[in-house]
Amino acid sequence: MSFQSIFRTANQWFLSTPERALDQAYKAALMIKAIEDEHFKGKKISASSGEYTDSVISYFEADLKKYLKTIKVRLVEFKSSRSVFINSDSKKLANNRSNFTASSQNFSLNNEQQSIIIEKLDFIDKIIKKYSAPEPLSKSLVPFSQIQERQIIQSDINQPLDNSPKSEPKSLQRGVVSKDGVVTDIDSVTDKTGVLPRSILRTFNRLQQELDPKAEEEVVKNFRNSKLKTIISLKFILTLIIVPILTHQIAKTFVISPIVDQYREKANIFLNVELQEEAFSELKHFEEDLRFRSLIGVIDKVTPEEMEERVKEKASELAEEFHEKSSNALKNIFADLVSIAAFALVIVTSKQEIVILKSFMDDLVYGLSDSAKAFIIILFTDIFVGFHSPHGWEVILKGISQHLGLPENHDFIFLFIATFPVILDSVFKYWIFRYLNRVSPSAVATYRNMNE
C-alpha cells in the first residue's frame, strides 16, 4: 500500500470522526430509551419506576452507567473534532459559491446534515437531562443567543420555528438571560478552545482513570456483569430450544402415541389422497419391477399365482407403513401443540431472563462492525427474499405438510411464494429506512455499496 493511499484512508477516517462519535452517542441514548420504554413504562430507570428485584435494578443501573459514560465521552469527541472542521467547511462553501449548481447542492446537503445533527443532539440532551442533577434557576433559562441561532438554522432549512425551551448542548450556549435582562457569557474564549488540545486532556483523563485504585475493581465488576449476562443468555437460549423438543418427544411417546394407536382404526390407512397415490405408485412400481426381472432372467420365472402372492405381501407391508405414517402425522399435530404450550410457558415465566437476553443481543449486534452488519443483512435477505428463495420456501412448505399430514395444496404454495417474500422484502426495506438509517447510517452506506 502506497503512502498516498494510507494518507487518504487516514484522512477519511479523521474526517468521519464527528459523525462517528455522534452516532455512537446517539446509539447509547437509544439503548437507554429502549430500556425505559420496555421495562419502566417510559420513566426513569430506577427502583421506584419498575417492579423488579434489587439484582435486576442493579443490572439495569450498570447498563445505564455504561451508556451514560459512552454518551459523555463521545459528545466530547464530537465537539472537539467538529470544531476543527468548521473553518475548513466554511472555506469550501465559500469557494463553491462561484458555481451555482454545486453551491446549491452543497447547501442542501449541509441543511440536511444540520437537521439530523440537531435532532440527534436534542434527543441525547433529553436523555442526559433526565439523569443529571437539577441545575440552578439562572442556568435553566432559555439562552438568548441560542434562540437566535435556532432561528437562523431553521430559517435555512425552511422548517417552522419552535421557540419552546429545549435542552441544547452547552457548546451552543453563548449566554443566558438573567432576571435583569442582561445577557452574560457562560464560556469565555479560553473555556471554549482551551490552552491545550482536548485530545491531550482526554489522554490525561484516561491515564488518571487507569491509575485510579478503584479502576481495577470497576473493570472486574463490569467483566463479571458481562460474564453473568452471557451465561444467563446462553442458558436461556438452550432452554428455549431443549424444552420444546423434549416436551414434544416425551408427550408424543408416552401420552399421545398410546391414545392415537388405541382409538385409530386399522381401516383408515390413508390420512389424505396424496398418501394413497404414493402407496399405489409404489405398489405398481414393485409389480412392474418384479415382472421385468422375471422376463430378463434375473430371478426365476414367476407364475401369475406367485406374482399375485408377492404383490399381496407388498400391499400388506405398504398398508402397515402408510398407516404408521398417517398415525405419526396425527401424533405430530398434538405433540406440536404441547411443545408450543411449553415454549409459551417458558416465555411467560422468564421475564428477567428475556430482559437479560435482549440486552445481550443488543450488545452483540451493536458490537459488530458496519461491514459485518451489512453482510448479515445481505445474507438474510438473499436467503429469504432473494432470487432463489422460492425454491427454499417450496421445500419448507412441503416439509411442513408432510410433518402434519396435510395434502400439498400447490395453489396455496404458489400464492404464498408470490406474496410473502415480497411483503418480507418491503418490511426489510422499511426497517432499513426508518430504523437502521438512524441508528447506524454508516452501516446502511456499507450495505448499499456491498449490494451494488
176 forms beta bridges with 184
Cα separation, 347 vs 184, in Å, equals 57
Task: Give me the mean pLDDT over the 81-96 stretch.
Answer: 55
Cα separation, 366 vs 380, in Å, equals 17
Q: Is the pLDDT of residue 402 over 50?
A: yes
When mean pLDDT is compared over 316-320, 343-347, 367-371, the highest value belongs to 343-347
pLDDT of residue 155: 43
Segment 317-338, tens digit of pLDDT = 998 898 888 889 999 999 999 9
Segment 298-307, tens digit of pLDDT = 888 878 888 8
- Listed in sequence order, the residues at least 6 apart from 60 whose beta carbon sits closer than 8 Å to its beta carbon are 35, 39, 45, 50, 52
State which amino acid sits at residue 401.
Answer: S
Q: Measuring CA to CA, how many Å separate 437 from each of 116, 382, 441, 448?
A: 11, 20, 5, 11
6 versus 42: which is more confidently predicted? Answer: 42
3-state secondary structure of 176: strand
pLDDT of residue 8: 62
Q: Is the pLDDT of residue 216 over 90?
A: no
Q: Which stretches of 296-440 are DSSP H helices?
A: 304-348, 351-366, 370-385, 389-404, 410-431, 437-439
Give 51's pLDDT tier (boundaries 50, 70, 90).
confident
Give 161's pLDDT tier (boundaries 50, 70, 90).
very low
**Against a cut of 0.85, is the pTM above it?**
no
Cα separation, 314 vs 155, in Å, equals 87
pLDDT of residue 423: 92
Segment 246-297, tens digit of pLDDT = 999 999 999 999 998 888 876 678 888 888 888 999 999 998 988 888 888 8
327 versus 97: which is more confidently predicted? Answer: 327
Q: Please, what sign has the CA dihedral across residues 308, 310, 311, 316? A: positive
Q: Is the pLDDT of residue 184 over 50?
A: no
Cα separation, 291 vs 304, in Å, equals 10
pLDDT of residue 72: 86
Rg (CA), the chain: 34
Percent of the chain with pLDDT over 70: 73
8 versus 284: which is more confidently predicted? Answer: 284
Segment 126-146, tens digit of pLDDT = 888 888 865 443 343 444 444
Give 149's pLDDT tier (boundaries 50, 70, 90).
very low
When the pLDDT of each residue in the chain is averaged and rounded to a whole number, the result is 76
Give 407's pLDDT tier (boundaries 50, 70, 90).
confident
Q: What are the grid coordinates assigned to 226, written together?
A: 458481562
Plot region of 445 (φ>0 → left; ψ -120 to 50 → alpha; else → beta) = alpha
State which amino acid sits at residue 129.
Answer: K
State which amino acid sits at residue 415.
Answer: L
Q: Is the pLDDT of residue 165 over 50?
A: no
Cα separation, 151 vs 172, in Å, equals 13
